[in-house]
Amino acid sequence: MKNISRSYQCILLVLLSLLFGASNAVAQNSLPSWKDRPAKKAIIEFVSAVTDEKGKDYVEPAERIAVFDNDGTLWAEQPMYFQVLFALDRVKVLAPEHPEWKDKEPFASLLKGNVKGAMADGMKSVVEIIMATHAGMTTAEFEAIVKDWIATTRHPTSKRPYTEMVYQPMLELLAYLRASGFKTFIVSGGGIEFMRPWSEKIYGVPPEQVIGSSIKVKYEMRDGEPVLVRLPELDFYDDKEGKPVAIHQQIGRRPIAAFGNSDGDLQMLQWTTAGQGPRFALYVRHTDAEREWAYDRKSSIGRLDKGLDEAQAKGWTVVDMKQDWKVIYPHEKR
Amino acid sequence: MKNISRSYQCILLVLLSLLFGASNAVAQNSLPSWKDRPAKKAIIEFVSAVTDEKGKDYVEPAERIAVFDNDGTLWAEQPMYFQVLFALDRVKVLAPEHPEWKDKEPFASLLKGNVKGAMADGMKSVVEIIMATHAGMTTAEFEAIVKDWIATTRHPTSKRPYTEMVYQPMLELLAYLRASGFKTFIVSGGGIEFMRPWSEKIYGVPPEQVIGSSIKVKYEMRDGEPVLVRLPELDFYDDKEGKPVAIHQQIGRRPIAAFGNSDGDLQMLQWTTAGQGPRFALYVRHTDAEREWAYDRKSSIGRLDKGLDEAQAKGWTVVDMKQDWKVIYPHEKR
């Protein structure tokens, strides 16, 4: 049945596109959570231009690569990156197996509920916590841990599942781009194996189009069965200058559209827009303290400072969440 | 026009699949260069099983991941890996800029035409030659160099372009799998950026589905323009145990079908077949000294020894090029 219903969808789409011209019809109905303001207009103009076969800015479907940051761009990142909250939860779960943590920072502070104290050493603390909680198991075991956590844990303030803390307008944008022949990729500073177990269901982005930070893994035989074991060693940090590098190594084409929310995405937006032909860069700016959070130039999480200056200087699209989005989260639609 | 003709193709495919059942119709016409022998039969049986929605072995299209080695599996690798021939050519081109090479091995021997002498230090020599010829330029510059070389150079014995030294039956297999809903990936020990400039045109495999060995690249600004500079430092060696690792890091799903020709592919075939549900593993065995080359257990290039034992023990499909393939190269069809 699935193939047949897909087939009818296919016929329908073909007929629609022959009769009306697909891109206009799609655009009008694809971004219902976006207010009719400049950001929405800029998106639709860009997509219409690159899909218009008779226009000067037409781009072959194979080259329609769009890259999205995740934290703060597709889902929320406050009061802390969700993956850090995952790691903190894992420290609690694993503590009984690690009696030495009682006297060892950053774990000792953490286990006493003193998150600030645990983070006293900054990135060093974060790396120690990540390695202690993300390595040492097989990739299959880690996937099961992530799936379980994401299915059962709630966000500390909203009390909703993390997968409901995604931005409805961005889900619509992902779908609109795909309906317009784009291939959508995630390029995140977050862990690649923290995102892949749910990215396809939530974002429609399959694992092979999820790029992120990673730790090393090692192939070995256990009882005659091959496994991949996660090692406590950084493989790649996919942030700032790392993002164009990862895009190059893993996609091998320069994107024509890039979406981010912080200075960590700046190099990705620079790299994207420096290519020839039509290009699109968009920053999501967190301006809505009531429905979401308001932060930018001075935030330690998701700081948007240099990026905002460059966006203004280069005319990139900046989304004002408060002004541009009718709803923030999917549940508001219901 | 392109979109419209694609649309008609789409309608046609839909109607055909509704009327006749797609997989049988496709299979009968998809592997014309394969003789009706066990290897072809095994391929068609596997593909029919995983695409039969009513069968117990049905696999959702999203999970239909097939991985192919390149050297010796999709194109020839004798008398030497083609990328090594590329590197040797580059040494000659770059020699005027490197007067010191006249007294420095492995370059000195190479420039005198003494390849064997140059390779006296084995992998150490190869790495030195690769780093001297593959690094130091931007990624865009390297892509242009590869494109030019592949378009203008001829294979030393056949005198044909390297892109005509691909195996016609494997091209048909790639296309057949894609027509059956598979996503086809290359997972090669060769350099990722040596393959990407031509993989889409020759194999129908887009750059984002090409995985291989890589050197590090660095993002930097030159005259206000961002570039990626290739560094003389290995990033990842995609061979043996590296192949399942790369598959995991870059695809994030376990393939259900894997195709190789050497012991360097063994771990990829093990990893693929150790997954649950229907699995397919195939080795191409070079048995045709007349039309191609004959080598396996004792060859220094593309050695197939342990892999052959394991294929026989586990019942993997082994293609006998001489017996199974009506033609080897595309030009034989004409």
Q: Do B219 and A271 touch (CB under 8 A)?
A: yes
Smallest Cα distance from B314 to chain A, Å = 13
Query: In terms of CA atoms, which chain B residue is nearest residue A227?
Result: B271
Q: Which of A204-218, A247-261, B13-27, B221-235 has the lowest mean pLDDT?
A: B13-27
pLDDT digits (tens, 9 = 90+) for B72-90: 999 999 999 999 999 999 9
Among B111, B94, B93, B91, which Cα is nearest to B102's?
B111
Asked if B274's CB is within 8 angstroms of A196's CB, the reply is no
Q: Assess A9–B contact: CB distance below 8 Å, yes or no.
A: no
E-strand stretches of chain A: 65-68, 183-191, 210-222, 225-236, 257-260, 280-287, 294-295, 317-320
Residues of B in contact with A12 (CB under 8 A): none
- The pLDDT, as a whole number, for residue A16 is 47
Cα–Cα distance between A103 and A106 in angstroms, integer? 9
> Which H/E stretch holds residue A22?
helix A22-30
pLDDT at B314 over 70: yes
Q: Which of A219, A225, A245 sits opposite B245 (nearest CB)?
A: A219
Of B3, B244, B251, the CB nearest to A219: B244
**B4: nearest Cα among A178, A183, A176, A19:** A19
For chain A, report the end-to-end CA distance as a whole number of angstroms: 29
Which residue on chain B is closest to A198 by alpha carbon? B252
State ipTM.
Answer: 0.90
Contact A120, A104 (CB under 8 A): no
Q: From B188, B214, B189, select the one nearest B203 (Cα to Cα).
A: B188
Q: How many residues are recorded in chain A?
A: 334
Asked if A2 is an interface residue toward chain B (Cβ–Cβ < 8 A), one would say yes
Per the CB < 8 A criterion, the answer to whether B64 and B23 are in contact is no
Which of the residues B194, B220, B235, B249 would you substitute to probe the A interface, choosing the one with the greatest number of A C-beta atoms within 10 Å?
B249
Q: Identify whether the C-beta of residue A304 lies closer than 8 Å to the C-beta of residue A262.
A: yes
What's residue B27's pLDDT? Answer: 63
- Set of chain A residues whose Cβ sits within 8 Å of the Cβ of B250: 208, 250
Segment (H or E) for B186: strand B183-191
CA distance B265 to B238: 10
**According to the model, what pLDDT value does residue B39 have?**
98
Residues from chain A that touch B65, judged by Cβ atoms under 8 A, are 208
Inter-chain touch B249–A217, beta carbons under 8 Å: yes
Rounded CA separation B9/B249 (Å): 35
Interface test with B, best of A7, A52, A268 (most B CBs within 10 A): A7
CB-nearest partner of B252 from A196, A226, A270: A196
Contacts of B61 in chain A (CB under 8 A): none
Residue A179 has a CB neighbour count (10 Å cut-off) of 18
CA dist., res. B120 & res. B109, Å (int): 10
Report residue A94: phi and psi, to 5°.
-85, -10
CA-derived radius of gyration, chain A: 21
At B99-150, the pLDDT tens digits run: 999 999 999 999 998 888 888 887 788 889 999 999 999 999 999 999 999 9
Average pLDDT of the residues in A25-38:
85
Bridge pairing between strands B257-260 and B65-68? parallel
Provide the pLDDT confidence category of residue A266 given band limits of 50, 70 and 90. Answer: very high
Residues of A in contact with B4 (CB under 8 A): 18
DSSP assignment letter at B330:
G
Contact B245 A17 (CB under 8 A): no
Size of interface A-B (CB pairs under 8 A): 108
Q: Kindly state the percentage of chain B with pLDDT values over 90.
A: 85
Q: Which residues of A299-320 are buried (b: 16+ CB within 10 A; e: fewer)?
A: bebbbbeebbebbeeeebbbbb
Q: Is A161 helix (H, G, I), strand (E, B) or coil?
A: strand
Give per-residue pLDDT as tens, A274-297.
999 999 999 999 999 999 999 999
Say if A235 is an interface residue toward chain B (CB within 8 Å): yes
Q: Which residue among A200, A241, A253 sits closest to B208, beta carbon to beta carbon? A: A253
DSSP state of A327: -
Q: Distance (Å) from the C-alpha of residue A59 to the closest C-alpha of chain B? A: 12
Average pLDDT over residues B309-332: 98
Three-state DSSP at A303 gives coil
Give dist(CA B106, CA B115) in Å, integer.
Answer: 9
Q: Is A206 on the interface with B (CB under 8 A)?
A: yes
Which contacts of B121-128 are long-range, i.e. CB under 8 A and separated by 24 or more positions? B126/B84, B127/B234
Residues whose CB is less than 8 angstroms from the CB of residue B121 and which lie 6 or more positions away in sequence, other chains included: B105, B106
Among the partner residues A11, A210, A228, nearest to B11 by beta-carbon distance: A11
Query: Cα–Cα distances in Å, from A189 out to A242, B108, B226?
Result: 9, 45, 20
CB-closest option in B196, B200, B244 to A226: B244
- Inform me whether the C-beta atom of residue B274 falls under 8 Å from chain A C-beta atoms: yes
DSSP A49-90: HHH-TTSTT---GGG-EEEE--BTTTB---SS-HHHHHHHHH
- B10 touching A, CB under 8 A? yes
* pLDDT reported for residue B11: 54
pTM score: 0.91
Helix (H, G, I), strand (E, B) or coil at A314: helix
- Residues A41-50 pLDDT 10s: 999 999 999 9
Q: Is A262 left (phi over 0), alpha (psi -120 to 50) or beta?
A: beta
- Whether B212 and B249 have beta carbons less than 8 Å apart is answered as no
DSSP, res B182:
P
**How much is the pLDDT for B18?**
47
Write the single-letter amino acid at A322.
K
Is the CB of residue B275 less than 8 Å away from at least one CB of chain A?
no
